Structure 1
Amino acid sequence: MTDRPTTVLIIGATGSIGRHAVAEALKQGYAVRALVRDRARAARDLPDGVDIVIGDLTRPETLDAAVEGFDAVVFTHGSTTNERDVRDNDYTGVANVLRALGGRRVRIALMTAIGTTRPGVAYAQWKLRSERLIRASGNPYTIVRPGWFDYNQPDQRKITVLQGDKRQAGTPADGVIARDQIARVLIDSLHTDAANHKTLELIADHGPEQEDLTTDFDSLTPDPSGSLDGAEDTVHLPVTNEPEKFRQDLAAISAANHT
C-alpha cells in the first residue's frame, strides 16, 4: 500500500456496524459515500456530509455508477445465519461489487465473523467464500472477523486481534467486541500498512482501548501470497468441489486481477 485513501464507500451504511463505520470514517477525515437502496432512510439515518449513492448489491446492473469515484471500500453488510440469505446477500454483494470494479484497484476492508472457518456450517462457508474472492481480487485488503457484538462489559475495551479462527463454540464464549470498535478497526485498517493482506479475529479484553493499533496489526502474519485462505486458518473446501456460482465468480474476479 502506498498513498492513504481519501474517499471511502461504505457498504451496509445504514446497518448497526455501517453507521458506526460512517461516523468513524468522517471522524478520521475521509470523504464518505454510502451505498444504499433507500434514499429516504439514508437521509434520515446518516449524518450530513455523506454522499448517498443508490444501488442494490443483489442487482449488478445498479452498481456500475456506484463504484466510481472512491479509492477504498468497507463491507459491513450482513444478513442472518440462514444459508440462502448469506449466499444471496452477504456473499453475492461482495462478488457483485468486485465484478463491477472490473480490476480497478481499491483498498478493501471486509467484515465477516469469528468462526467463519467452522467445518460443515453452511452459512459460514458462504462468508468464507466472500473472503476468498477478496484475496483473489488482487486488491490491498484487511479481513476482520469480529466476535459477538456488544456483549462486552464497560471495562472490556482493549482491542485484541487473533488468527487461525480457533474459537468455534458459536456463542459469546468465542469473544465479544463493541460495534463502534469493529468500525474503528475497519477504518483504521485502510491507512495502516501493517494491516495489508491480513486476516484477523477481533475481540475485546478487559482494559482500556489503545490509541494506536499499528503494533497490533504488525503482530499478525500476512496471508500467503496466492492463497485463497487466511494465514493460520485450517480450511477443507477444495475449489474443485465448490458450488458453480462461486467458481464462476472466482474465475471472473481472478481474470480481472490479471488484466
Structure 2
Amino acid sequence: MKIVIFGSTGSIGMHLVQQALQQGHAVTAFTRNPVKLSPLNHAGLTVVQGDILNYPDVEQAVRQQDAVLCAIGDGNKGKVRAAGTRNIIAAMKKMGVNRLICQTTLGLGESWGNLNFFWRHIMFGFLLRKAFHDHEVQEKQLMESGLDYTIVRPSAFTDGRVTRSYNVGFDGDHKPLTLKISRADVADFMLQQLHRAEYVKKAVSISN
C-alpha cells in the first residue's frame, strides 16, 4: 500500500517507518527534520519535509495515498496533536483518502477504568494533563470525522522487539495489566490495521 506516516521521527513513528518498509509498503514519511531519517536508505521510502500545523504541507503529503498513519507527539505542550490531526482530516477529505489509523493513549474514554492511581492522579491528573487533554480533543475530531478511522490506545511505552503477546480490545473494567507495551508492538499493531476491518470507526486499547 501507499501510506503516509505523520510523526515519522517520533518514538512510535520510527518503528512504523521501519516496519512498513520491511512489509513492502511504499512509505511517505512526513517530518520537520528529514536528517533524522537519513540512515534509512530504502527505495520504498519518500521523505517529505513539512510542518503538521501548515495545512498545505499536509495536503501535499496526503495526495494519492491509500492510507494515513498518525503518531504525532508534542510532549506535554498540548498544542500539536489535535491541531495537526485537524489538518490531516481536512486533507484526507479533500484528497479522497479514507483510511486513518491514529495512536492516542490508554486512559481515554472508557479505558480510564484500566488506569491505576499513579496514572490517573499523578501522570494524567498532574504531570501530563495538557497532553491528555490534547489527546481528548484529537479523539473527538477523529470520531466526528466520518473517515474510516481506527484509534489505537496504547499504555506506557517500553523498548523491546515485536512480541504480539499483549492484550487487545479489553473493556474499561479489565484490571490485570502491567500498563506497559513496547513501541515496536504498538507500531506492529497499527500496521496490522491496514488489512483488518474489525476496529474501523472504533477505539481499541492495547497493553501488556
Select 2:2's aligned residue among 1, 7, 29: 7
1:64 paired residue number: 59
Query: Is 1:11–1:18's contact at 8 Å kept on the other side of the alignment?
Result: yes
CA distance in 2, matches of 1:187, 1:59: 26
Q: Tell me the equivalent position of 1:198.
A: 202
Structure 2 length-normalised TM = 0.79
User: Using the alignment, how far apart are the partners of 1:164 and 1:59 within structure 2?
Assistant: 37
Return the offset for 1:61. 3.2
Q: Secondary structure at the match of 1:114?
A: coil
Partner of residue 161, structure 1:
168
Separation in 1, partners of 2:172, 2:68: 24
Looking at structure 2, the residues matched to 67 and 33 of structure 1 have their Cα atoms a distance apart, in angstroms, of 9
Aligned residues: 188
Residue 39 (structure 1) aligns with? 34
Task: Please name the residue that 2:108 is paired with.
Answer: 116
Q: Which 10-residue stretch deviates more, 119-128 or 32-41?
A: 119-128
The alignment's TM-score, normalised by the length of structure 1, stands at: 0.65
Name the residue aligned to 2:188: 184
Amino acid at match of 1:114: L
Alignment of 1:134 onto 2:142: yes
* Partner Cα distance (2:190, 2:10) in 1: 15
How far does the alpha carbon of each residue in 1:51-76 deviate from its partner, in whole angstroms, 9 at most, with x for none?
A: 11121012223223122121111111
Percent identity reads 28
What is residue 246 of structure 1 aligned with on the other side? none
CA distance in 1 between partners of 2:188 and 2:164 (Å): 12
Report the alpha carbon displacement of residue 130 of structure 1 after superposing the two structures with TM: 0.9
Partner of 1:105: 97
Contact preservation (8 Å) 1:73, 1:108: yes
Equivalent residue number for residue 80 of structure 2: 89
Check the 8 A contact 1:116/1:125 in 2, yes or no: no
Q: CA RMSD in A?
A: 2.5
Residue 65 of structure 1 aligns to a residue whose secondary structure is helix
Unaligned stretches of 5+ residues in structure 1: 1-5, 205-259
Worse-matched range after superposition: 159-168 or 14-23: 159-168
Unaligned runs of 5+ in 2: 113-119
Q: Is the alpha carbon distance of 1:42 and 1:193 closer, same or farther for their aligned partners in structure 2, counting shifts above 3 Å?
A: same
Query: Match of 1:34, as an amino acid?
Result: A
When residues 93 and 167 of structure 1 are mapped into structure 2, their CA distance, relative to the original with a 3 A threshold, is: farther
The higher radius of gyration belongs to 1
Shift of 1:102: 3.3
Q: Find out whether 1:18 has 2:10 as its counterpart.
A: no
Residue 145 of structure 1 deviates from its aligned partner by: 0.8
Mapped to 1, the partners of 2:24 and 2:31 lie a distance apart of 21
Contact 1:114 1:147 in 2 (8 A): yes
